[in-house]
Amino acid sequence: MLHYWLEFEESMGKVWDKYLNKKVHKLHEEQRVYFEDISKPLHIFHRLMGGEKAKELRITDKRYVETSRTLLEKISFLGKEFFLTWQDDESVYIPASFAYFSTKEENEMLYYWLVAMAAQVENITNNNLIEKNQYAIDYLTKRYSGFDIFYKNATEYLMDKYEQLSFLKSLDEQSNQALIDDYPNPLWIYPRAITLSYANNIENEEEPTREEGKDKSEELQMKKQANQIDDKHETDGFLAFLPESLMSIFEQVNVDRLEDDSFDKDALYHAEDLDEITIGQKQANLSSRIKMDLELLQDTTVTYPLGKGHYLDEWDYKKNDYLVKYARILPQITMNVIPIELPQRLKKTVKKIQAELDILQLNRIKNDRLPYGDELNMDAWIEYMSHQNKSMHHQNFYTSYEKKTRDMSTLLLADISLSTEGGITQDIRIIDVIKDSLMVFSEALEKLEDKFAIYTFSSLQNKKVYFNIIKNFKDKYNALIRGRIESIKPQYYTRMGTAIRESIDILDRQQSSNKLLLVISDGKPNDEDRYDGRYGIEDTKKALQEAKKKGITPFCITIDLDAKEYLNYLFGSNGYAIVRDGQKLPKVLTEVYINLTK
Amino acid sequence: MSKNYYLPQGNEVELFDASASMNLPVLIKGPTGCGKTRFIEYMGERLNRKVYTVVCHDDLSAADLVGRHLINENGTFWQDGPLTKAVREGGICYLDEIIEARKDTTVVLHSLADYRRVLPIDRTGEVIEAHPDFMLVVSYNPGYQNVLKGMKPSTKQRFISLSFDYPKPDIERQVLVNESGVYEQTAQKLVDIASEIRQLDDTDIQEAVSTRLLIYAGKLIVKGFDPYQACMHTIVESLSDESDVLEVLEKLITLHFTKHDNA
């Protein structure tokens, strides 16, 4: 009996809940549009609208607004949390989904509207909230008839559904600030929630061994309201208190968020659920910071050094001279690799690229003036006829088209420093994309029958610049090479200049008249010693100049989004490509190559 | 009345006039559809010189420029190429997209592009001295970077260089009105669209929308096409094949020109 009663109560509860939600939310669930689905077009749109190119679009977290709630809203505890659009120097933060309007088109339009607004509005604060927004709205509605219609309809609809928004009707003469603060307008851009200035102001009595914990929180896709507490005194435990309307439970556990940078999906999940993330200042003892790598699979591959290495010069910009035989290059090769076939996941891309190459017929080369061939060359024959002394003239009248390797040698130099361990998405690391790119690229070049070589590099100061041989120019591309590509592991640092000089030497020994040096990298040149910042960049620049002097064309493809400035300096404005979507690297790399050489 | 309409963007007309009077060759670089060819045609008319245009491609041989022997019923005879014709008779020889031609082809220009102003023809053994009205003009689009192609520095350094870009909004609007006959207001919208698209860089689209495409859009609109449709078929579809980019560009067009489904 009780059982039935409980079930009845539960279903009644559900109905009530649904009723309240519907009544209060007035949302159109079936027309909900998610940011995830249109994030890429929105990114492009943001740039199109004149938004700063380096800015990211991210999902925002809810924030609490002191609103005057209707009775129903109070009963249902709803109407207090809001997802607002705001921005800082790095990103624009947008709600994860919208369902305000009755059609998908309008909900989607709201995203485009907010992105356009964000591109117009700058330095918004609570004081200039109205002027700034109003200014942007005026601009957008005047310039775009589409936005004009949308804005009018949307405002009307929202004011109708949410009576608190009726202040919008008389915004110009509106002096009641409280009314405006009362209920946020989904069409506006808002200031950022809490600045972290408080967090920065806390005196750090203990030795500051790490930078602010702020950096680590970037792992989260959404920005949390950050709060910092002073936990230097032990007050671990369980705290319960009654905020305004409902009892909530806060848990204080000593989790070292400054140190714990392991990516944990669970943590992310919980972080989304928590209202606030509190960051303490406590740090783990040094002794507990040792990272254990015991669970790694046993690796059978062995890196085998080829000789004792040799020394190359390095450029010191301060002395404005070379440091003669300063950096030691250590060529090595990975042994015991297992030959593999082309991975299934790449087959489609490779097929597509090869089909493109077929259309381009890049490898069809016309040979004129042959003693025999496919077609008669009229010019050659007429020239012969017009020549006074025919016996002195050659009789090569034919033209033929043949598949022939182009006179081209390409050296691919990939940066495999530790930073490539970083993730592009949660599952894919930069190094994985580099490996995939190398394979796809090799397949394409093999098809073109162009000569190519692949090397990877990493470094530990000037005495150890590892130069891994994946494929020499004379090696045949086969399963073993694929195996070597697969066995690439990120390690150490990026002494780029030295690796480039070694590549120049190798390319210089090739007979081709066109030589291309393709560098794939994920960041600036750097090493443990002074090879960082300007020193590294100047040395790399010098190395690239040496390459150009020897008739080698350098080109860089990078996944580093902030790269533009130094790449421009290193490679020149036409000498590099930035790949925003790392997963497109395999395709882009090949396309760049075709464009460069067609 | 001039048949070529050209609205100067800066000092290019004066520079070209001066170069012509001093017998200096001119190099013009700029993105596609920004008015390079139109400028040359206009200048040809202004200076009252005939323009010989050669569009370069990778199969272009020196013989295509200089000339070759041909046959008729009497045997072979020599036929001047466009370059030789201009050199003999005076006129502007305009080599469009010179980067597309192989480097060895463009070397024949060297003796013409410096103080010597002569064209030696090996096949006939002639050395032609250039007519006082002969002028050499080349153009290329620096956007397409290519390892195998590109101008030799030794070729490049023989020219007075003019760099073209898309016209400023006011000028572009006027050009649109003049060329396509659209209303000022529509022209302004098209220019707005263009200025927005030109904010994207080469990672999104290969090259930004040209003035030429805007004129096409204007012409379709004048012909009675719905502005949305006109822009879709000229601007949007011509710029990219990538679905994300297309989606955004279409959105941009709908924001400016409301879409009519019945059109």
Provide the CATH number for the domain around residue B158.
3.40.50.300
Tell me whether residues B251 and A144 touch, CB distance under 8 A. Answer: no
Do the domain assignments include residue B215?
yes
Compute the half-sphere exposure of residue A154: CA atoms within 13 Å on the CB side of its CA: 26
Of the pLDDT bands very low, low, confident and very high (cuts 50, 70, 90), residue A271 is low
Nearest CA in chain A to B255: A146
* Amino acid at residue number B157: Q
Say whether B147 and A553 touch across the interface (CB within 8 A).
yes
* pLDDT tops 60 at residue A228: no
C-beta atoms of B255 and A144 within 8 A: yes
Chain A hits for B204, Cβ within 8 Å? 44, 47
Q: How far is CA A447 from CA A365, A406, A443, A595, in A?
A: 15, 12, 6, 16
Residues from chain A contacting residue B247 (CB–CB below 8 Å): 41
Residues of A in contact with B245 (CB under 8 A): 44
Residue A96's nearest CA partner among A107, A133, A105 is: A107
Quote the tokens at residue A412: 């691919």
Residue in this structure with the two tokens 């080369």, named with its chain if needed: A365
Taking CA atoms, what residue in A is nearest to B199?
A48
Residue ranges covered by each domain of chain A: 2-190, 220-285, 302-359+406-597, 366-403
* pLDDT bucket at B262, cuts 50 / 70 / 90: very low
DSSP A423: B
- Report the residue of chain B nearest A387, measured CA to CA: B123
Chain B residue numbers touching A553 (CB-CB < 8 A):
147
- Among A288-302, A344-358, B132-146, B165-179, the minimum mean pLDDT is found in A288-302
**What is the residue-wise DSSP string for A306-364?**
-SS-EEEEEEETTTTEEEEEEEEEEEEEEESPPP-PPPHHHHHHHHHHHHHHHHHTTTE
One domain for residues B48 and B92: yes
Which CB contacts under 8 angstroms, 24+ apart, belong to A424-430?
Answer: A424/A559, A424/A582, A424/A583, A425/A583, A426/A263, A426/A265, A428/A582, A428/A583, A429/A490, A430/A522, A430/A559, A430/A582
Query: What does the DSSP assignment read for A263-278?
Result: --HHHHHHHHHSS-EE
Question: Do B31 and B137 share a domain, yes or no?
Answer: yes
Which helix (H) or strand (E) segment holds residue A64: the answer is strand A62-64
Calpha distance A184→A93 (Å, rounded): 15
Q: Tell if the CB–CB gap between A382 and B247 is shorter than 8 Å.
A: no
Calpha distance A542→A534 (Å, rounded)? 12
Closest of A207, A253, A199 to residue A230, by C-alpha: A199
| pLDDT surpassing 80 at residue A93 | yes
Please list, in sequence order, all residues whose beta carbon lies within 8 angstroms of the beta carbon of residue B260, skipping any fewer than 6 positions away.
Answer: B226, B228
Domain boundary, last residue among B121, B146, B163? B163
Q: Which of B134, B121, B104, B148 shows the shortest CA–CA distance to B26?
A: B134
Cα distance from B79 to chain A (closest Cα, Å)?
12
Region B136-144: what's the mean pLDDT?
A: 83
Reported as a single tens digit per residue, the pLDDT across B194-220 is 999 988 876 677 788 999 999 999 999
Asked whether the beta carbons of B228 and B258 are under 8 A apart, the reply is yes
Mean pLDDT of chain A: 76
Are the Cβ atoms of A580 and B203 closer than 8 angstroms? yes
Q: What pLDDT does A196 receive?
A: 37
Q: What is the pLDDT of residue A424?
A: 72
**Per the domain annotation, does B4 fall within a domain?**
no
In terms of residues, how long is chain A? Answer: 598
| B142 within a domain of the structure (yes/no) | yes
User: Looking at this protein, which amino acid is placed at residue A83?
Assistant: F
In this prediction, residue A181 has a pLDDT band, given cuts at 50, 70 and 90, of low
A528 and A345 in contact (C-beta within 8 Å)? no
Partners of residue A53 in chain B, C-beta under 8 Å: 201
Q: Please, is A65 exposed, middle or buried when counting C-beta atoms within 10 Å of its C-beta (0-12, 13-18, 19+)?
A: middle
pLDDT surpasses 90 at A367: no
Q: Residue A378's closest chain B neighbor by CA? A: B70
Q: Name which of A456, A548, A530, A557 is nearest A499 in CA terms.
A: A456
- Cα A219 to the chain's mean position, in Å? 13
Strand partners, A248: A241
pLDDT bucket at A403, cuts 50 / 70 / 90: low
CA angle B59, B65, B66 (to 5 degrees): 130
Greatest mean pLDDT range, A1-15, A43-57, A572-586: A43-57
CA distance A72 to A149: 32
What interhelical angle do B243-256 and A35-48 show, nearest 10? 60
Q: Are B69 and B93 in the same domain?
A: yes
CB B35 within 8 A of CB B179: no
Q: Give me the count of residues in chain B.
A: 263
Residue A217's pLDDT band (boundaries 50, 70, 90)? very low
Q: What is the mean pLDDT of residues A240-267?
A: 50
Sorting pLDDT into bands at 50, 70 and 90, what band is A209?
Answer: very low
Give the strand pairing for A398-403 and A364-370. antiparallel
Chain B residues in contact with A518 by the CB 8 A cut-off are none
Q: What is the DSSP-derived secondary structure letter of residue A493?
A: B
- Percent of the residues in chain A that have a pLDDT greater than 70, as a whole number: 69
pLDDT band at A495 (very low <50, low <70, confident <90, very high): very high
What confidence score (pLDDT) does residue A298 get? 54
Higher local confidence (pLDDT), A392 or A209: A392
Q: Model confidence at A399, in pLDDT bands (50, 70, 90)?
A: confident
How many alpha carbons lie under 13 Å from residue A588 in its C-beta half-sphere?
23
Residues from chain A that touch B257, judged by Cβ atoms under 8 A, are: 145-146
Which of A45, A365, A581 would you mutate first to test chain B, the one with the most B CBs within 10 A?
A: A45
Q: Tell me: do B105 and B64 sit in the same domain.
A: yes
The answer to whether A585 and A440 are in contact (CB under 8 A) is no
A364-368, A421-425, B60-64, B221-225: range with lowest mean pLDDT:
A364-368
Give the position of tokens 């998405």.
A425
Q: At what angle do helices A145-161 and A129-143 cross, to 10 degrees?
A: 130
Chain B residue numbers touching A149 (CB-CB < 8 A): 258
pLDDT score of B179: 93
CA dihedral A43, A49, A54, A60 (to 10 degrees): -60
Cross-chain residue pair B254–A514, CB shorter than 8 Å: no
Q: Which residue of B has its CA nearest to A581?
A: B203
In a domain, B176, yes or no: yes
In angstroms and rounded to an integer, the radius of gyration of the C-alpha atoms of chain A is: 32
For residue A247, pLDDT over 60 is answered with: no
HEC readout, A182-198: HCCCCCCEECCCCCCHH
- Whether B2 maps to a domain, the answer reads no
Among B142, B144, B252, beta carbon nearest to A48? B252
Q: Which residues of A touch B (CB under 8 A)?
A: 40-41, 44-45, 47-50, 53, 112, 143-147, 149, 366, 379, 382-383, 385-386, 408, 514, 516, 553, 555, 574, 577-580, 595-598
Looking at residue A414, its pLDDT comes to: 93
**Is B108 within the bounds of a domain?**
yes
Question: Cβ separation of B256 and A48 shorter than 8 Å?
Answer: no
- Across A242-261, average pLDDT: 50
Using a pLDDT cut of 70, give the percent of chain B over it.
93
CA distances from A345 to A82, A349, A559 (A): 42, 8, 21
Q: How confident is the model at residue A258 (pLDDT cuts 50, 70, 90)?
A: very low
- Please tell me which residue, A427 or A143, carries the higher pLDDT value: A143
**Containing structural domain, residue B19:** 12-163
| 3-state per-residue secondary structure call for A357-379 | HHHHCCCEEEEEEECCCCEECHH
CA atoms within 13 A on the CB side of A378: 6
Instruction: Annotate B106-139 with DSSP letters as a single string.
Output: HGGGHHHHSTT-EEEETTTTEEEEPPTTEEEEEE
User: Is residue A505 pLDDT above 90, yes or no?
Assistant: yes
Task: For residue A145, list chain B residues with Cβ-Cβ distance below 8 A.
Answer: 255-258
Q: What confidence tier does A250 reach under pLDDT thresholds 50, 70, 90?
A: low
Q: Are residues B39 and B109 in the same domain?
A: yes
Which one of A47-61, A203-217, A394-408 scores highest in mean pLDDT? Answer: A47-61
Do residues B52 and B100 share a domain? yes
Which pair of tokens denotes residue B10? Answer: 């800066």
Q: Are residues B32 and B145 in the same domain?
A: yes
Q: What is the pLDDT of residues A157-174, one digit of tens each?
A: 988 888 777 777 766 555
How far, in Å, CA of A118 to CA of A495, rounded?
A: 40
Query: Is the residue at B37 inside a domain?
Result: yes
Mean pLDDT for the stretch of residues A237-254: 50
Chain A residues lying within 8 Å of B146, measured CB to CB: 595-598
**Alpha carbon distance A557, A579 (integer Å):** 7
Rg (CA), chain B: 21
- Of B128, B163, B198, the last residue of a domain is B163
Tell me, yes or no, whether B158 and B173 share the same domain.
no
Sheet holding A85-87, edge to edge: A56-59, A91-94, A85-87, A189-190
Question: What is the pTM assigned to this prediction?
Answer: 0.66
Q: Mean pLDDT highest for which of A114-118, A216-220, B58-62?
A: A114-118
The string of DSSP codes covering A117-136 is HHHH--S--SSSHHHHHHHH
Query: Over the stretch A459-473, which tens digit does the pLDDT of each residue have?
Result: 998 889 999 999 999
- State residue B73 phi and psi, 5-degree precision: -65, -20
- ipTM value: 0.79
Say if residue B105 is in the same domain as residue B159.
yes
> What architecture does CATH give domain A302-359+406-597?
3-Layer(aba) Sandwich (3.40)
- How confident is the model at residue A179, as a pLDDT? 59
Position A385 scores a pLDDT of 79
- Contact assignment for B148 to A597 by CB distance below 8 Å: yes
A411 sits in which H/E element: strand A408-415
- pLDDT for residue A251: 52
Domain count, chain B: 2
Q: How confident is the model at residue A72 (pLDDT cuts 50, 70, 90)?
A: low
Instruction: Over range A447-451, report the average pLDDT.
Output: 82
What's the DSSP call for residue B236?
A: I
Residue where one domain finishes, among candidates B109, B138, B163:
B163
Residues of B with CB under 8 A from a CB of A: 59, 61, 63, 68-71, 75-76, 78, 123, 142, 144-148, 192, 196-197, 199-204, 244-245, 247-248, 251-252, 254-258
Mean of pLDDT values over A502-511: 92
In a domain, B6, yes or no: no
Burial class for A295, CB neighbours closer than 10 Å (0-12, 13-18, 19+): exposed
Q: Which residue has the higher pLDDT, B69 or B27?
A: B27
